[in-house]
Amino acid sequence: MRKHCKLIKILISVAPSNDAAFTRGSNASRSRDHNVNFTDASQGFLLNQKLIFEFDEIHCDCQCAQYTRTLVVRITRDHVPRLESPPAEHLVVESGPSQDEVTRIISKEAYSFLVKKVVGVNRYDGTQLASNSPCENRFTHGKFPSPWNDGNQWMAWAVFDGHAGWQTADLLKKQLLSFVRYSLSLVKSPSNEESISEELVQRAIIKGFVNLDDSIIKTALDTSQSKEPLQDKVKKLAPAYAGSCALLSVYDSVTSTLHVACTGDSRAVLGQKMPDGKWETIPL
């Protein structure tokens, strides 16, 4: 019941009262059909299968005076859905989506970003199509300062294919890149070289993966032996009981190098259009 005037016809059951204006001096309960104008009705609620409304001001067409009362409205009809499908003997097989429908479904969560001040990247696009509900997968993308604070911008794209729950994928989305960035920040260039080798970068990325994985397991072990409330334990244990693949691509704009790291069965594929118009794909 919304808070505005609405004229409806209901069956009113009024509790015993000395309100002569409505009960005409009788202390007995009365039930009558009335056209009632609800001037200011609060939200209704159920009590013992009766719908209760409280009103600040009510006008009744039976010439009753204004009064303030809690009314018990007996439900004369329900809102249970009516099943209209007719009896059937044979299975109804529906056709699959058209190409246009497939494009619309895939493009529903699509995004596109123009990139500035990152040498080698002008734009990137992406989309996500959930295979279950709630979706167990996560992704992240964007640019971040160079691990060596040289004023340049790096970029990262990551996909996390969760399984047996979304909790691990969600944690990886929030923390994997942070662990990798910290690991990269510890890398030092040999004194006789101007730049850090690709091998050192790759080792640092792997170390970031391993350190986060170790942290997830250690947190679970510590939590299982703690005396924390159950709800806190469940939240902290979930990332260790669920799981996720992790696919991370990190782009070094200074060396124009794309570093790809993967744990699990997710894969990154490089696609490039050849002079003859055909596309070539290379797993990374």
User: How does pLDDT run across 114-147, given as a tens digit for each residue?
Assistant: 999 999 999 999 999 888 888 999 999 999 999 9
Q: pLDDT tier at 149 (50, 70, 90 boundaries)?
A: confident
Confidence (pTM): 0.67
Q: pLDDT tier at 77 (50, 70, 90 boundaries)?
A: low
Q: Mean pLDDT across the chain, nearest whole number?
A: 78
SS (HEC) of the chain: CCCCCCEEEEEEEECCCCCHHHHCCCCCCEEEEEEEEECCECCCEEECCEEEEEECCEEECCCCCCECCEEEECCCCCCCCCCCCCCCCCCCCCCCCCHHHHHHHHHCCCEEEECCCCCCCCEEEECCCCCCCCCCCEEEEEEEECCCCCCCEEEEEEEECEECCCHHHHHHHHHHHHHHHHHHHCCCCCCCCCCCCHHHHHHHHHHHHHHHHHHHHHHHHHHHCCCCCHHHHHHHHHHHHCEECEEEEEEECCCCEEEEEEECCCCCEEEEECCCCCEEEEEC
The mean pLDDT of 175-198, rounded to a whole number, is: 85
Give pLDDT, residue 197.
86
The mean pLDDT of 153-161, rounded to a whole number, is: 96
pLDDT digit string (tens) for 223-236?
A: 888 888 888 888 88
Give pLDDT, residue 218.
92
Give pLDDT, residue 65.
42
Give pLDDT, residue 151.
87
Domains and CATH numbers, the chain: 7-73 (no CATH), 111-283 (3.60.40.10)
Give pLDDT, residue 190.
61
